[in-house]
Structure 1
Amino acid sequence: MSIVCTIFLFLLTVSSAFAFAVPKPPIVRQLSTSVTSNSTASCSANGNPIDDCWRCDENWKDNRKNLADCAVGFGRDSIGGRAGEFYTVTDSGDDNPLNPSPGTLRYAATQDQPLWIIFDRDMVIQLKQDLQVASYKTIDGRGNNVQIAYGPCLTLYKVSNVIINNLYIHDCVPAKRNALSSLGGYSDGDGISIFESRDIWIDHCTLEKCYDGLIDAVNGSTDITISNSYMLNHNEVMLLGHSDEYSGDRDMRVTIAFNYFGEGLVQRMPRCRHGYFHIVNNIYREWKMYAIGGSANPTIFSQGNVFIASNNQFTKEVTKRESADGDEEWKEWNWKSEGDEMVNGAYFTPSGKEDSPSYAKFSSMVARPASLLKTTHPSVGVLSCEIDQAC
């Protein structure tokens, strides 16, 4: 009997270890064999103003809220939960979305007051319904491997001042919302859905394999920065603008900066409607259809990016327009490439006025030379930050 008990306890211990093991997020591929490997001292003034702002601080754990001073681009005014207390998530569960338990992410993210939300350990959070994050919240996963996966994911609806940092968001699916949800119906299965919201900053996240988009911003959302994130293994990556007919997106302003659009991506990096989009210092690798697309006369300023086409001769073009009236309409849209590097036959089709005042008016930040992106392995996605060390 004692031998049987010993074996049972051993198997229970092993199975528990596997149950609570948290898989690591994927690591970005190098640009080529000539690119240097990712440095552990990547905080060292590499020209990325966000990372240079906080990553060299060995006491970043005690100075977490300094991150709120580091945003760039159109979302730079987002302060998240800087004015609030810290809240530590200790429970990865989501048993009662209508009445969330203290200690859960849902409980913290739905509170009325500002909060800076952190985590006490590695965890995978499988939500039962999409989590509608309230205004003035920071969800800060630095120092832990925090994943939101295998269920509905994050929604920002009629909110402002939200920072989402260092989360691995993947395998998101639609789900029916409860009767008290202000949105009703079903969630879309996006990684992060943004509706009628402003002053949003998404930084150092890894996103892949969601049912719909990885990040979508629609219905009059504006002043958004998406930075330092790693996106891979997905079809329709990022939709910015609800529909061609929805004029409320004409004032949308989004900055896409320092991201890595990696393997297995097909299209919409992003797909834009109506508004103003500054696409700066990103790396695009081997898209399967197109990289940057749009309709309904968006202004797109592509600056200092690296576009690496695949060997497929039919997918060399970076851009794609959708216009019911054909070429004569889209030729008037202001789409400009400045300082971009085109690799393996990639090409960007410009349109509109080369020197339109709209580019200067809606230039949201200073671009680095694209050549710098090819000499240093990109430090994107979820960071492996250790306590009491530079991140």
Structure 2
Amino acid sequence: MAAALRLSCLCFLQLLIVIVLFINTSADNSIEQAEQFQSLSNSTMTNRLSGNDELRHEHAEDDPEAIASMVDMSIRNSTERRKLGYFSCRTGNPIDDCWRCDRNWQRNRRRLADCSIGFGRNAIGGRDGRFYVVTDSGDDDPVNPRPGTLRHAVIQDEPLWIVFKRDMHITLKQELIMNSFKTIDARGVNVHIANGACITIQFVTNIIIHGLHIHDCKPTGNALVRSSPSHYGWRTMADGDAISIFGSSHIWVDHNSLSNCADGLVDAIMGSTAITISNNYFTHHNEVILLGHSDTYVRDKVMQVTIAFNHFGEGLIQRMPRCRHGYFHVVNNDYTHWEMYAIGGSAAPTINSQGNRYLAPVNPFAKEVTKRVEPWEGSWRQWNWRSVGDLLLNGAYFTASGRAAPGSYARASSLAAKSSSMVGMITSNAGALS
């Protein structure tokens, strides 16, 4: 009996040893796979930029519902951690809670690149590069910019995280033409780009624009302008947009204050896609946001843009946004002013409006949130425009059209909307942070 018991114990110990060895082998394999994946993720910018056309136009999401689920999970996890006291901020804004709850955010600036949501969530900007400190507010020579200027920083070929030494007022002589993999990060200082040319994002990828005051932009051009250390060329007249996005992808425009420019505040055209416009404060302007080049430019069908957590404030008239062809998710924004309409479109765009707060103006003829520009009467009835959970105040109304089925809006869904009752809190810090 004793011998049988000893034999049973021996067999049990051998089984335990086999299980432990199996677990260790699996763990080693997992670590090796993770290291291989990390190596692939840290590929050089040269590899990223090969096949430039494919980079710009292959980023339309095939499964946006998966993105929404992922973002919703991150929001819930963040909320649960706040309940445990890990964070002191309680804004409910998932972008801000990602970095502003870190008391040492100034030492961890590049963490911002991991905080984007929506279609532009993969815009890493200059996360993988070194810091570049702008020390000179001048812009004397757009062809041969001085080191230390903003223009010298944005044209470099390498990834850069661009910060500012002090408060600055920058008046640009010509368009600020950006190179790929750049972040302009004005947190902690008061930086104005005003009273001259403004920002052009053309045929590039992975750009983050954060924390700027951009206003009073003017048409410029018919001049030579440098776009990289090895190239400068002749630029015709620019329209005077605050931020012009042209044939580009993976763009994130966050926490800027924009107003009073000659043309648009943000324009995205010519096949641009994978864009998030978030936490901005728009004021005193006519045609605010244009998304899509023209009704005949069908390449804009690839466009996917998230408009989230913005405050559309005083002195605005129309185009918040005005859309063509593509897929547009308008979520948890605060519309407190418009004179003509808030959201417009042509060329059958898909517009998914969720959890916004629309406060109509006093004018009884401007209560409608939406405006269609159609080639013939009634053609817009087939366009997929819907309003889900929006708060419509002071007589505001949203004219829906097209299919009611949720699947019709899959390619215009980029994150899980919060209740419209939270919009005031979510957007309370919109614009450049002081």
TM bin (shorter chain) = 0.7 to 0.9
Aligned partner of residue 124 in structure 1, secondary structure: strand
Q: 1:299 to 1:168 in 2, by over 3 A?
A: same
1-side partners of 2:234 and 2:304: how far apart?
Answer: 23
Q: Which residue of 1 aligns with 2:189?
A: 144
TM-score where L is the length of structure 1:
0.86
Q: Does 1:260 align with 2:328?
A: no
Contact map agreement 1:130 1:177 (CA 8 A) in 2 = no
Contact map agreement 2:143 2:224 (CA 8 A) in 1 = no
Q: Which residue of 1 aligns with 2:139?
A: 94
Contact map agreement 2:279 2:427 (CA 8 A) in 1 = no
Match of 1:179 among 218, 224, 235: 224
* 1:304-360 alpha-carbon deviations (Å, 9 max, x no partner): 000001111011000000001121x10000000000000100000000001152313
Q: 1:377 to 1:191 in 2, by over 3 A?
A: closer
Structure 2 gaps, min length 5: 1-86, 226-231
Q: 1:200 to 1:136 in 2, by over 3 A?
A: same
1:136 partner letter: F
Q: Which residue of 1 aligns with 2:254?
A: 203
Q: Which residue of 1 aligns with 2:17?
A: none
Contact map agreement 1:129 1:177 (CA 8 A) in 2 = no
1:205 partner letter: N
2:242 partner letter: G
1:150 partner letter: N
Q: Which residue of 1 aligns with 2:392?
A: 342
Q: Does 1:59 align with 2:104?
A: yes
TM-score where L is the length of structure 2:
0.77
The runs of at least 4 consecutive aligned structure 1 residues that moved more than 2 Å come to 177-184, 374-377
2-side partners of 1:162 and 1:43: how far apart?
Answer: 30
Greater fraction of residues in helix = 2
Q: Which residue of 2 aligns with 1:352?
A: 402
- How far did 1:217 drift? 0.3
Q: Which residue of 2 aligns with 1:117?
A: 162
2:270 partner letter: N
Aligned partner of residue 313 in structure 1, secondary structure: coil
Higher relative contact order (CA 8 A, sep 6+): 1
1-side partners of 2:278 and 2:233: how far apart?
Answer: 29
1:81 partner letter: G
1-side partners of 2:88 and 2:267: how far apart?
Answer: 30
Contact map agreement 2:258 2:281 (CA 8 A) in 1 = yes
- How far did 1:177 drift? 4.2
- How far did 1:187 drift? 1.0
Contact map agreement 1:43 1:51 (CA 8 A) in 2 = no
Match of 1:213 among 264, 269, 278: 264
Q: Does 1:321 align with 2:366?
A: no
Q: Which residue of 2 aligns with 1:270?
A: 321
Aligned partner of residue 307 in structure 2, secondary structure: strand
2:108 partner letter: N
Q: Which residue of 2 aligns with 1:154?
A: 199
- How far did 1:178 drift? 2.4
1:367 partner letter: A
Contact map agreement 1:340 1:370 (CA 8 A) in 2 = yes
Q: 1:277 to 1:183 in 2, by over 3 A?
A: farther
1-side partners of 2:268 and 2:359: how far apart?
Answer: 26
Between 180-189 and 280-289, report the one with greater CA deviation. Answer: 180-189
State, as a whole percentage, how many aligned pairs show the same letter.
59
2-side partners of 1:216 and 1:236: how far apart?
Answer: 10
Structure 1 gaps, min length 5: 1-41, 385-391
1:259 partner letter: N
* 1:46-102 alpha-carbon deviations (Å, 9 max, x no partner): 221100100011111110000000000000000000010000000000001100000
Q: 1:299 to 1:157 in 2, by over 3 A?
A: same
Contact map agreement 1:80 1:138 (CA 8 A) in 2 = yes
Q: Which residue of 1 aligns with 2:21?
A: none
Contact map agreement 1:228 1:381 (CA 8 A) in 2 = yes
- How far did 1:179 drift? 3.5
Q: Which residue of 1 aligns with 2:242?
A: 191
Aligned partner of residue 340 in structure 2, secondary structure: coil
Q: Which residue of 2 aligns with 1:230?
A: 281
CA RMSD across the alignment? 1.3
2:105 partner letter: W
Q: Which residue of 1 aligns with 2:359?
A: 308
* Structure with bigger gyration radius: 2
Q: Which residue of 2 aligns with 1:18?
A: none
